[in-house]
Amino acid sequence: MKICFLAIGNELLKGRIVNTNLTKAGEILRTNGYDLTRGLTIQDDKESILAALEKELAENDVIIMSGGLGPTTDDITKKTIAAYFGVGMKEDTTTVELLTQFFAQRNIPLSDRNRAQAMVPENCEVMLNLRGTAPGMYFSVGEKKLFSLPGVPFEMLYLLENKILPILKQSFPLKHYQNHIFRLWGIPESSLADRIAEIEDRFPPELDLSYLPRIDGIWLECTIRGNAEDKAALSEKLAYWTGEIRAILADKCYTEGRQSLEQEVLTIFTERKLTLAIAESMTGGQIAGKLVTVSGASSYLKGGVTAYFTEIKEKVLNVPAEIIEKEGVVSAEVAMKMAEGVRTLLGADIGISTTGYADKSGEDILPHVWTGYADAHRSNSRRFDFFNTREINIERGVSAALVFLLNQLAVK
Ligand code: ATP
Ligand code: MG
């Protein structure tokens, strides 16, 4: 089954708007067992729309259009679709009612221009838009289906989820889709591919792997799909193969599933009734900034010290001057002393730290961070190297420190 997403809009092509509708549509279809097989962006002029309709209807089973349905004169999608089918326009009475209500609630008279939103091609079935004023439209073209949705993202999303999916599920066999994510750090994509090549060679056809490189490492996604009636067997199969993958990636996998690092840290600290203190140099407070984005952080995060000057590392965090002198301020030892120091200073169960270079420094120091960990019994630290811009290296530094923290919490 081939599904094409056809985004209409000059703004998209000029780089003024990011085509998030395409991404969102791809995600929603995928998580419902359908695959978007083509994504296209075109200008909103008559010739481009007509040409795209002609070609894409020939080559796909389903076309989902978005954009160009508004009341302004630049919105020509409706008229062009009517011209394509060689039909006239009709007024949809339910949409008129909806529009009347919509404007009455806002104390605005229903102008002719707004009422014109209820005009649709004669051969369409209206999909009521309860999130805005432009109705969605459904055209059945022989065995094929054409949908036209407004461009406003939350309206597009509403219609896709609530109107289009049910139609697809009725016309095309219901699919089962399930996936499992391994979150990996410290292994390049190519080595990862080498490691799992042997398992992947034995994969049944309904299973596939995808690699998603992210700030917090690589997300390896293992997906199984098939018919809905085989759901139980498919689940079992997925569990078997993820078991095989888990066994060979254990040393590189810091967690599984989709939950964010900050959520994961919150879960572990609250479960174990632990508290945390943070000493940040290279990350400048962004670790604390990230951890407080999830509600509940106040139950475990005591606080942090942004110790950017060497002097502050010494005076506030009690890092011995001799160690800084001997090892350098960006070193394994200083990272550990910072973690120990902040842990004592704030009276927390666990202290973590960062000290590093976000940029290249001089000729031979490449961006890297030493991240430290200290609890009542032991301290540890690890180096992570970065290869990007200053901003991204700092973001990676935040993730590195949290991945290292999770890793240390797993040590028995
Ligand atoms: P309106 O009633 O606002 O005119 P419309 O259906 O005519 O809606 P457009 O005019 O194409 O749609 O776009 C309206 C707004 O929706 C744009 O300003 C833009 O912010 C957003 N938008 C349109 N297309 C997309 C897209 N593909 N991805 C993300 N946002 C989009
Ligand atoms: Mg518009």
Of 351, 360, 407, nearest to 217 (Cα)? 407
Closest Cα to atom 10 of ligand 1: 68
Closest Cα to atom 4 of ligand 1: 70
Q: Which atom in ligand 1 lies closest to the alpha carbon of residue 22? A: 27
- Tokens representing 158 are 């509403």
Return the best residue to mutate from 8, 44, 152 for the ligand 1 pocket (most ligand atoms within 8 A of CB).
152
Closest Cα to atom 25 of ligand 1: 151
148 Cα–ligand 2 center, Å: 13
What's the rounded Cα separation, in Å, for the pair 191 and 196?
9
17 Cα–ligand 1 center, Å: 9
Residue 412: its pLDDT value, please? 61
Residue 239: its pLDDT value, please? 97
> Is 338:283 a contact under the CB 8 Å cutoff?
no
Closest Cα to atom 22 of ligand 1: 151
Residue 237: its pLDDT value, please? 96
Closest Cα to atom 16 of ligand 1: 152
Strands 62-66 and 3-8: parallel
From the CA atom positions of the chain, what is the Rg in Å? 28
Cβ–ligand 1 distance for 151 under 6 Å, the answer yes
Q: What is the pLDDT along the chain (412 residues), one digit of tens a residue?
A: 899 999 999 999 999 999 999 999 999 998 888 889 999 999 999 999 999 999 999 999 999 999 999 888 778 999 999 999 999 999 999 999 999 999 999 999 999 989 999 999 999 999 999 999 999 999 999 999 999 999 999 999 999 999 999 999 888 877 788 999 999 998 988 999 999 999 999 999 999 999 999 999 999 999 998 888 899 999 999 999 999 999 999 999 999 999 999 999 999 999 999 999 999 999 999 999 999 999 999 999 999 999 999 999 999 999 999 999 999 999 999 999 999 999 999 999 999 999 999 999 888 899 999 999 999 999 999 999 999 999 999 999 999 999 999 999 987 6
98 Cα–ligand 2 center, Å: 19
What's the rounded Cα separation, in Å, for the pair 67 and 57?
18
Cβ–ligand 1 distance for 135 under 6 Å, the answer no
Residue 86: its pLDDT value, please? 97
Residue 308: its pLDDT value, please? 97
What's the rounded Cα separation, in Å, for the pair 225 and 7?
27
**pTM above threshold 0.75:** no
Cβ–ligand 1 distance for 75 under 6 Å, the answer yes
Q: At a CB cut-off of 8 Å and minimum separation 6, what does 108 contact?
A: none
Q: How many CB atoms lie within 10 A of CB 372?
A: 30
